Structure 1
Amino acid sequence: MSQCVLICSNNQEAKRTVAEIAQVMGFTPVDMGCMASACEIENIPLRLLPAWKIPTFLALGLFLCFFTYNLVRQVIHPYIREQKNKFYKIPIEVVNTTLPCVAYVMLSLVYLPGVLAACSQLYYGTKYRRFPDWLDQWLQHRKQIGLLSFFCAALHAVYSLCLPMRRSHRYQLIETAVKQEFSKMMVKNWS
């Protein structure tokens, strides 16, 4: 699948010449009509969501895989093997363990296509040969993948700050329960 070149002009001969040049260079020319379409063509790179679709699905897929693995390892396995109820770990600790895994894998996916592109250029001995379409698409999505990796790392930082607060709250509850039991025992002993 070759890259498209959007062409608009009021001069049919000029459009045909540019289309022929684009075809010679390996692109697919797409006739967008008259010059009134120029504004629409200029705004195409500014569209946000089409460029984020694949990286977002990639991040969600990785998150689900790592979340499932961590859920089984940290919650379900202890519940089955030792009858320990650790379901309270799901919203904070399991998610906090999952986020850096996703961030690391996505960060590696930012740098890997550059290495593959360099290997391709070395193999063919030129930097002017077009990359395969899958590699070209991957190179174009690096910025979005990197930003999603940063987002996962930032969420991990926020969740890491929440862990001590949750633990301190839990220990305060335990300490309160112990004090109440101690006071009940003291009342019974005095009676």
Structure 2
Amino acid sequence: MDDSDSNSAPNTPNSSQHVVVIGTGFFGNSITSYIRRVAPEYTVTQTSRSLTPPPEQCVQGADIVFLAVPSHCYPSVSESINSALQPHTILIDVANRPLRLIPFRFRDQDSSAITLHKLVPQNVHVVKAFNTVSANYLTELNEQDELPGNENLPFAANDQHAIQTMKAFCKDLQFNPLYRGTLEQTAPNMEHAPHRFFPLYKTSFIMAGIIWTWWILYSTLSTYVIHGRRGTPSRPWDKYPLSMFMATTGETSMTLFATVFLAGPVATALKRFGRRFPNYLINWLNRRKQIGLVAFLFASAHGIAGAISSSHIDDGWKGQFYFVLGILSYLMFAVLAVYSSGQSGSKLTWAEFRGVFSWVGTLALMLGVVHQGFWGAILLKHRPNPSYWVANGAIMPISWLGIIFPIFVLVVRGITWLPCFREKNSYKSMPVDTREVEAISV
């Protein structure tokens, strides 16, 4: 090939594109089947050292090459195919770091993409991509009757031609391409991303842990320490584990749910007065789904503990209402959890979205407050009025203290429903999904 050919720009993916997948493992088989099913206009060849023809023959004239082999095999594979690769070939590195290598052990090591970039000719473009897509996921897509939606697919590349080619290739495969930067900048983080443990839920679990710890300490202090000094604890110690678990998981779930529904009114108030959203509010709004699902986890734990320890069922009509309202509130929050996970929420119309995440959510929070209020009323049979404890230097019981914040949130939401707050305002300063913000705050 002459110099003019070697310096020419590669074509964008079309019917003449030839894709080669080197590797016959789980991922190699899955990506091969997926490309053949979703983009039949591509010519796809799968090869390995044990197949005929070998990789060095298959990559001749290939436009895109997948290296679906372990990264420790890159030196031997590159040595065999380097002379056969044509200029401007896209070489896709799909490898991730081994799970046993925790971050501080490979902080100073090159990523597999950078290592591969050093092993191949300079006119071959290495791209880091598809490492965040699992073989199991591709297999599930291959078994579905309908074509998949546009899932985000991050990639990294150094060459502009490679970037444009990958964007077109990803769109042909029904993915939404997200260019993250050069290999040196983003490849190490991309290789570590699949090993992160629920990164979107990290803040939510930390918040839940702090709130749960607070309620455990507060309930232990009010139930066993203060009342224990005045005579006997309000509950016997042999019932501490289950009763404490039931009480504190319920309070934690109510506090988290109230936190979710407070973000909308705050955003509505700032929008009403023409203020831009601060960064903490943007993060708060973007984490509502995760916080809500963690709250639903605590509500489920509370319900299981309540079903095991059903002593309140014997407290007459108050105990009956306590359980009925708790069940109704839990079922409504279950609806929110279902439509907050997966793609269920995206299939709702605007009216359905607003009804589920605004009206059903608010009603569920209200029923939860009344449910907790009946619990406090049941406890009044065995304890003095809460004002007695406050007046005598003690602290308010958990059943009444935990109800204050949710009631405050309901009042604030009611204020934002007033006509002065429901006026249509400009969304030019709203850096988040308009539909989600309005659905929570209306």
TM-score by length of 2: 0.28
The DSSP-based 3-state class of the residue aligned with 2:159 is: coil
Quickly say closer, same or farther: Cα 1:88–1:144, change in 2 above 3 A: same
The equivalent residue for 1:51 is 200
Matched, 1:95 2:245: yes
How far apart, in 2, do the equivalents of 1:120 and 1:79 lie? 47
Q: Which runs of 5+ in 1 are unaligned?
A: 16-28, 166-191
One-letter code aligned to 2:309:
L
Q: Which amino acid aligns with 1:91?
A: P
Residue in structure 1 matched with residue 182 of structure 2 by the alignment: 32
Partner of 1:122: 272
1:137 aligns with 2:283: yes
Cα deviation, residue 86, structure 1: 2.1
In proportion to residue count, which structure has more helix?
1
Alignment-derived partner of residue 109 in structure 1: 259
304, 313, 318: which one aligns with 1:158: 304
Q: Distance in 2 between matches of 1:58 and 1:119?
A: 24
Considering Cα pairs closer than 8 Å and 6+ residues apart, tell me whether 1 or 2 has the greater RCO.
1
* Deviation, structure 1 residue 124: 1.4
Distance 2:226 2:239 in 1: 13
Deviation at 1:55, TM superposition (A): 0.8
The whole-number CA distance in structure 2 between the counterparts of 1:100 and 1:124 is: 37
Return the alpha-carbon distance in structure 2 between the equivalents of residues 121 and 114 of structure 1: 10
| TM-score of the aligned structures, taking structure 1 as reference length | 0.60
What displacement does 1:6 show? 8.4
More deviation in 53-62 or 113-122? Answer: 113-122
1:82 alignment partner, SS class: coil
Aligned to 1:61: 210
**Shift of residue 30 of structure 1?**
6.1
- CA distances 1:45-103 after superposition (whole Å, capped 9, x unpaired): 9x662211111011011001111111122222332211458222321112211111111
Give the Cα separation in 2 of the matches to 1:120 and 1:32: 38
Structure-2 separation of matches of 1:48 and 1:143? 17
SS for the counterpart of 2:273 is helix
Distance 1:55 1:147 in 2: 9
Give CA-to-partner distance per residue, 1:2-33, whole Å, 9 cap, x none: xxx98756218x89xxxxxxxxxxxxx96333
**Matches of 1:73 and 1:62, distance apart in 2:** 16
Structure 2: which 5+ residue stretches go unaligned? 1-153, 165-178, 312-442
- The residue identity in structure 1 corresponding to 2:240 is I
Aligned equivalents of 1:32, 1:113: Cα separation in 2 = 36
Tell me, yes or no, if the aligned pair for 1:104 and 1:149 is still in contact at 8 Å.
yes
Instruction: State the alpha-carbon separation in 2 of the partners of residues 110 and 32 from structure 1.
Output: 37
Shift of 1:44: 6.2
Q: How many residues align?
A: 139
**Which structure: greater strand fraction?**
2
Q: 1:115 to 1:44 in 2, by over 3 A?
A: farther
**What is the one-letter code of the residue matched to 2:218?**
Y
Q: Say whether the 8 Å CA contact 1:55–1:144 is kept in structure 2.
A: yes
| CA RMSD in angstroms, aligned pairs only | 3.5
